[in-house]
Amino acid sequence: MLPSLNLLLQSILDGIFLGFLYSIMALGLSLVFGVMGIINFAHGDFIMLGSYLVWILANSLRSDPSLMSVITVPLFFVIGAAIYTIIIRPVLGKEPLIQIAVTVGVGYVLQNLALMTFRAEPRAVQISYLNFYVDLGLVSVHAAKLVSAFLSFLIVLGVHYLLTKTWVGLAIRATAYDREVASLMGINVGKIFLLVFGLGIALTGLAASLWMTFGQADPYIGSSFGLLTWVIIALGGLGGVSGLLASSIIVGIIQSLTMTLVSPTVSLAIPYVVFIVVLWFRPQGLFGKG
Amino acid sequence: MVAGASIPFLVGFNQYYILLALQSVIVASIALAWNIIGGYAGQLDLASFAYIGLGGILATMLMMEYNITPWAGMFLGAGISAALAFVIGYPLFRFGIRGVWYALSTAALVVILHEVSIMVLGPFDYYIPLLEGWYYLRFRTWENLYYFSLIVLAFVISLNLYISRSKVGYYLKAIREDEVAAEAVGIDIRKYKLLALMTYASILGFVGYIYIVSQRTFSYNTFSGPQSVYIAIIGIVGGLGSVSGVFTAAIILKIVEEYLRGYLGGALPGLHLLLFGVLLITVGILRPEGLSSLTDTLVKKVKTRIWGGVRE
Amino acid sequence: MMSKRSLKKAISKTMSLVIGLIIVIAVVAGVLIYLTSQPPLTTTTPTTTTKPTIEKVKIGIIEPLTGRYAVFGQEAVDAARLLVDIINNELGGVSSLGGAKLELYVEDAGTSPDSAALAAERLISNYRPHVILGAYISRLTAAVAEVTEREKIPLVMDALVDWLTEKGWNYVFRLAPRASTHGKAAVDFVLEMAKKTNMTIRTVVVLHEDSIFGTTVANGVRSQLIAKGVIPNETITYAYTITDFGPIISKIRDLNPDVIFSVPYFSDGILFAKALQASGIKVKFIAGAGGCGYTDPDSIREAGEAVEYFTNTYSYNPARQTEWNKRIVQAFQQKYGKLPTEAAGIIFYSLMFVYEGLEKAGQMFPEDPLNPDNLRAAFLSLDLNDSNSIAAQLYPTGRVKLASNGENLHGGTAILQVIGGQPKVVWPEAEEGVTPVFPRP
């Protein structure tokens, strides 16, 4: 069945929007990994946690989910800082397997906490101001997705600005580059780690509220987001924001195209195949100490 | 060993307990196989059920379609899983993929197999027909399968111990400690990692049929990512590289899971998994050696009692 | 490593292995001899010449109470408790067995065949129930059925996948309409309505979640469509964990179907309905099939207006106007504060059927009514309709008669439609004062 041009364009557009949202999810992870070398396996599950939180807040305050980010972002920053202090910092010096294992444990705890509290049925918010399509002739644009994509883009730019044009950003980059030297230069590495981890988690809070404008929350979305963000990072490397954006959009488009042209089932697997292939052929040096 | 074989008598052939024992033994075998790649070689592999599923489904389908006895099928299953391990492992190790990227690749592998199996076979969910007898390794009651699994477990334990005390094991542990240093000393890290991976995969491919038979059905959900993570958790909580620790962890966790299901039921779904998660975090932070510190000393005491004098 | 020590080590290690292996082999051999010289392990109710006094009949129920099917399993257990209460107190127990009361034993099937098998074994070794109901999900039920077949305990299944009655099991029974029947019913309904309203159907899309259940129902839909001369244009499958219907919506817009047949799991149904509504695409009708999603109270609450005028096929008709159906629905609502849906409904008539089967067994085999083969004979002998049976009154088609493989020969569904935010029965007989809305305005 040959796809019509409409369908193709529509699919690509959908993928682009989705990609922008993914970039926010990947950004937090990328920051943490790049600066601290910590692999947060539970990153996706924080998005899941955020989604449930947004669901509760949006429904009880009878408001649009994206506005909930006002609450979730600072809250998640605090949560991130707490997780860092209690769980991450103690394992910083230990072997990578243990570091990963600990975050796997956190993810497990979050998933099952959600399962116990909310049961397994997905939850969707009841009010979403932007849940409509705008017809542009060739394609239709889902307003909520468009706005999410736009906001995501702005935030990514904002973080980029933070990293490149501010003192804090400079400190962060210095620490990422070589933490010993940074420490010698008077940068409080511990504080930087705290800040970065908190920021990483805060971004998941933001991603969650944007996601809930058109998506649903269930205990297992964390795993799919988690793996997806890792695929994005593998593709785009830890270099810069532009690489991240590019790979997020590519992943979004790939997913969308396969879902439309082949089948939704396959679209789950394709990003991972891409992931493995990319891993094979990317020069090892890109991943630093791994 | 003897204790294991005598369990059916002790519980008066109560099918419930035998089934529980069977499932525990299977999990223990899988976790101990994982120990080879995770505990000895230090790679966080999250694809155990990819290999179990592949080998097991192959053996089962050969039996269902062509009436080929699983005694052959299991070895074929081991072979195909080892082949998959090679196909995946060779490039991964050759390109120096390790740590989290390795873990993620293996996680991705399970998902890929899950989806591919749906694509190739449609959403399948097969029930294994009751063809009884040792030829099919399929029975109405659970004891015979249990005895067979005990033998398999004994083999896996012996293999673990053998590796641990052999030259291969020595190299693997060196790789786990510090890969770069190991390579500098001249150890071919790629070769040994691949060896560990393929050994682990073949055991899983073999055990796959036993696992599926104990479930009576198999479907695309046999390729389960969460289950694979669960195995890795057991391996870590038990203590990386500790046979007694991993064995104990597997048995205890399975019993706790069943206990919670039996007595709490639907009251708090996922509670046992939650506890495991907390356990994993605690172990990671406070006691990375896991249960091994406890179990190893216990084993030493028993050994001293039996053999007289500490060995090694 | 010194060679002498390592040699000694090697020898003693091999020694211990060999000894261990010998012991294991000896034990296994001993056990086999023991087994073959013993009478069979399973016990059957001893036959006596005098009529036994039975004080209670033990009914086991195994349902998934954890995991993603917990919501269904929980409802099934709730329904069972209510029914046992009614049977014991209002109906006075099983009169042909001297007023014996039913006693319910609940076991959680968990989420995997592993746990379901354990549940069955545990239930049986602890309590040895006379009849078991369960287990909603096909692979869990299959795991349970193997155990119940071995132990010869009648299993009344509430799982819908077709092949469960096709495995040659002797002691399984199923009243609920099977999955393919659901698919067929959805098609029959739509075609009938189309004829009535003179609507031409050119393009049809079948949308289903890709589990074995979704696929079986969808196959039922497709084969019925083809049998009636309508060729489905496209079949779209998706994993129930789908998070974004965007691309699928795009495809639907491209195809511009008149009717969509959809087999959701639950949450995906909500997501789809909302996505479709947001897209503004005008599909003339959306018919669900398979009993899950769209028209149950939870889905309506979560999806709101998006599911208005959607239909779905149900194994149970909560609005059926028979005396007993109304009574039980009311009782359920009073006790649990919500309307019974699919999961509860199946248990209603299944458990009531067991009760009537027990009555019959008591009459047919006064000496040994609870013998599994006698129970089976009694179950198969029942030919129920609204006037002679409560179970039939609770059943959508009002008729129950089991074939020798345990399947109900009169299996049929009811179709509910969401009208004004409420699920209303529209087919085969519409509720009072209700006319099905077709096509969607």
pLDDT at A88: 81
CA distance B169 to B161: 9
Interchain CB distance below 8 Å, C253 and A10: yes
Q: What CATH number belongs to C180-314+415-427?
A: 3.40.50.2300
Number of domains in chain A: 1
Is residue B89 less than 8 Å (CB to CB) from chain A? no
Pick the more confident residue, C34 or C78.
C78
Minimal CA separation from A135 to chain B, in Å: 34
Count of residues making up chain C: 441
DSSP conformation class of C245: -
Query: pLDDT 10s digit of each residue in chain B, 312 long?
Result: 555 555 555 555 667 777 888 888 899 999 999 999 888 888 888 899 999 999 988 888 888 888 888 888 889 889 999 999 998 888 888 777 777 778 888 888 888 888 888 777 766 777 777 777 777 777 777 778 888 888 888 888 888 888 888 888 888 888 887 777 887 888 788 888 888 899 999 999 999 998 988 887 788 888 888 788 888 888 888 888 888 888 888 888 888 878 777 766 555 666 777 777 787 788 777 777 777 777 777 767 766 776 654 444
Query: Which of B87, B88, B101 would best serve as a mutation to test chain A binding (most A beta carbons within 10 A)?
Result: B101
Question: Of C17, C27, C115, which has the smallest distance from its Cβ to B158's Cβ?
Answer: C17
* Residues B41/B196, Cβ–Cβ less than 8 Å: yes
CA distance A197 to A82: 10
Q: Using CA of residue B39, residue B45, residue B46, residue B47, what is the dihedral sign?
A: negative
Question: Of B269, B277, B284, which has the smallest distance from its Cβ to A91's Cβ?
Answer: B284
Task: Give residue C249's pLDDT band: very low, low, confident or very high (50, 70, 90).
Answer: confident
CA distance B114 to B96: 26
pLDDT at A286: 35
Q: At what angle do helices B189-215 and B70-94 cross, to 10 degrees?
A: 140
CA distance C246 to C416: 27
Judged by phi (left if over 0) then psi (alpha if -120 to 50, else beta), residue C337 lies in: left
Residue A256 lies in a domain: yes
Interchain CB distance below 8 Å, B265 and C210: no
Q: What is the pTM of this model?
A: 0.77
Residue A129 lies in a domain: no
CA distance A52 to A60: 12
Helix (H, G, I), strand (E, B) or coil at B16: helix
Pick the more confident residue, C17 or B290.
B290
Is residue C304 less than 8 Å (CB to CB) from chain A? yes
What residue type is assigned to position C254 of the chain? D
pLDDT at C2: 42
Strand partners, B291: none
pLDDT at C65: 82
Residue A201 lies in a domain: yes
In this complex, how many residue pairs, one in chain A and one in chain B, have their CB atoms less than 8 Å apart?
147
3-state SS of A7-59? HHHHHHHHHHHHHHHHHHHHHHHHHHHHHHCCCCCCHHHHHHHHHHHHHHHHH
* Residues C176/C160, Cβ–Cβ less than 8 Å: yes
pLDDT digits (tens, 9 = 90+) for C314-373: 888 887 888 888 899 999 999 988 888 888 999 999 999 999 999 888 888 888 888 889
Is residue A115 less than 8 Å (CB to CB) from chain B? yes
Query: Domain coordinates of chain C in residue numbers?
Result: 56-177+320-410, 180-314+415-427
In this model, does residue C198 exceed pLDDT 70?
Answer: yes
Query: Which of C136, C237, C250 would best serve as a mutation to test chain A binding (most A beta carbons within 10 A)?
Result: C250
Q: At what angle do helices A167-177 and A189-211 cross, to 10 degrees?
A: 110
In this model, does residue C302 exceed pLDDT 80?
Answer: no
Residue A246 lies in a domain: yes
Q: CATH number of the domain that A187 lies in?
A: 1.10.3470
All partners of chain C with 3 or more CB pairs under 8 angstroms: A, B
pLDDT at A143: 77
CA distance C370 to C354: 12
Residue A131 lies in a domain: no
Interchain CB distance below 8 Å, B270 and A281: no
Is C56-177+320-410's fold the same as C180-314+415-427's?
Answer: yes
Q: How many CA atoms lie within 13 A of C409 on its CB side?
A: 10
> In this structure, what token pair is assigned to residue B145?
């399968």
Residue A126 lies in a domain: no
Where is mean pLDDT largest: A226-230, C84-88, C163-167, C233-237?
C84-88
Interchain CB distance below 8 Å, C215 and B216: no
Strand order in the sheet with C172-173: C101-108, C56-63, C131-134, C155-157, C172-173
165-204 of A, contacting C, C-beta below 8 A? none
In this complex, how many residue pairs, one in chain A and one in chain C, have their CB atoms less than 8 Å apart?
100
Which residue numbers in chain A have pLDDT < 50? 1, 283-290
Residue A132 lies in a domain: no
Is residue A191 less than 8 Å (CB to CB) from chain B? no
pLDDT digits (tens, 9 = 90+) for B196-251: 899 999 999 999 998 988 887 788 888 888 788 888 888 888 888 888 888 888 88
Task: Give residue C45's pLDDT band: very low, low, confident or very high (50, 70, 90).
Answer: very low
* Residues C325/C398, Cβ–Cβ less than 8 Å: no
Domain with A43 in it = 7-119+150-287
Is residue B307 less than 8 Å (CB to CB) from chain C? yes
First to last CA, chain C: 87
Residue from C371, C28, C394 nearest C176 by CA: C394
Domain spanning C56-177+320-410, CATH class: alpha beta
- Chain C residues inside the 8 Å CB shell of A268: 239
pLDDT at C153: 92
- Chain B residues inside the 8 Å CB shell of A87: 281, 285
Residue A144 lies in a domain: no
CA distance C438 to C373: 49
